[in-house]
A and B are shown apart, each in its own frame.
Chain A
Amino acid sequence: MEPHEPAPDADQPDAPHEEADLPGPSLWPLGFAIGIVVILVGLIINPLVISTIGAVIAIVCGALWARDATAELRGKPVVVDPERRELGPAAEGETPPAGQQAAAPPAAEESFPRDRFLEGATIGLGALIGGIVTVPIVGFAVAPSFLGQKGHRVDLGPISTFPEGDWYIATFVTDPAEADVSNRTAFIRNNGIYQNEPSFTIISNRCAHLGCPVQANGPTGSILGKKTIQEHTASGPVTLVPVVPAGFGCPCHGGQYDTEGNHTAGPPVRALDRWSFEINHGRLILLSLYSVSHVDGTGAQALIHKYKLAGPGEHVDGPEQWFYPLQPPHS
Chain B
Amino acid sequence: MIDSIRGTNLLSLDDLTKAAIVEVLDTAESFVEVNRRTIKKVPALKGRVVASLFFEESTRTRLSFETAAKRLSADVLSLAVASSSVKKGESLRDTIATIDALGIDAVVMRHRSSGAALQVSRYVPHVKVINGGDGQHQHPTQGLLDAFTIRQVLSERHDTTGLESGAELFAGLRILIVGDIRHSRVARSDVAAYAALGAEIRLCAPGTLLPDEVSTWPVTVVDDFDDALEWADVVGLLRLQSERGSGAFVASLDEFTFTHGLTVERARLLRPETLIMHPGPMNRGVEIDSRVVDSDAAIVERQVSNGVPIRMAVLYLCVAGSGEGPGL
Q: Are chains A and B native binding partners rather than an unrelated pairing?
A: no
Chain A interface residues toward B at CB < 8 A: none
